Amino acid sequence: MSLLKIAKMGNPILRKIAEPVSTKELETVEFQKFIDDMVETMRDGDGLGLAAPQVHVSKQVVVIESFENERYPDAPTIPLLILVNPVFKYMSRETRTGWEGCLSVDNLRGKVTRSRAVKLEAVDRNGNALVLEWEDFPAVVLQHETDHLRGHLFIDRMKDLSTLTHLDEFGKFWIKGENDVREV
């Protein structure tokens, strides 16, 4: 496995609509290795999610993983999940506002309002159908990551840019150690 270079805000690949992955492509050794590399890159960056455009590949693949650890003792547990060609089937009108950060938007945090509950369909790395009905923080992670496949960053979703803050100031003036500010 190898670490992949992360595309940062300003790179046009983050603004493109990613292409779906065909069954044939998904089955290739190269693509399976790419998925493994995405997982390794997410873990190395201490992120809880990563979308393929963030590593310069404009394909509809997302990896997610979250678990309690020393740095984030209240983090919800999401076992490693690979989503290929994800599509939302439902997004609640009820919303939830929380802090978000992103591996492609270094050292910034901002408050984003999103649907509180979602239903998402995708396939896993073996091409098997997945249906997720998630609420609260895990639902936010799904929305943040799927946004990357549509060319959106969390800052696009901010209604009020006055909460956009550098990490240093976030620690000083906003909430320290809140669990839902890991980079995704």
Residues in contact with Zn ion by CB under 5 A are 102, 184
Q: Closest Cα partner for 101 from 150, 153, 52, 143?
A: 153
Query: ∠ CA 72-8-51 to the nearest 5 degrees?
Result: 65
Q: Closest Cα partner for 182 from 95, 105, 115?
A: 105
In the complex with Zn ion, the residue whose CB is nearer, 25 or 88, is 88
Shortest distance in whole angstroms from residue 128 CB to Zn ion:
26
Shortest distance in whole angstroms from residue 70 CB to Zn ion:
23
Residue 1 neighbours by CB under 8 Å, 6+ apart: 33, 36, 37, 39, 40
Are 83 and 62 contacting, i.e. CB atoms less than 8 angstroms apart?
yes
User: Of 65, 100, 145, 183, which is the active-site residue?
Assistant: 145
In the complex with Zn ion, the residue whose CB is nearer, 21 or 101, is 101
In the complex with Zn ion, the residue whose CB is nearer, 25 or 108, is 108
Shortest distance in whole angstroms from residue 49 CB to Zn ion:
7
Known catalytic residue: 145? yes
- Kindly list the catalytic residues: 145
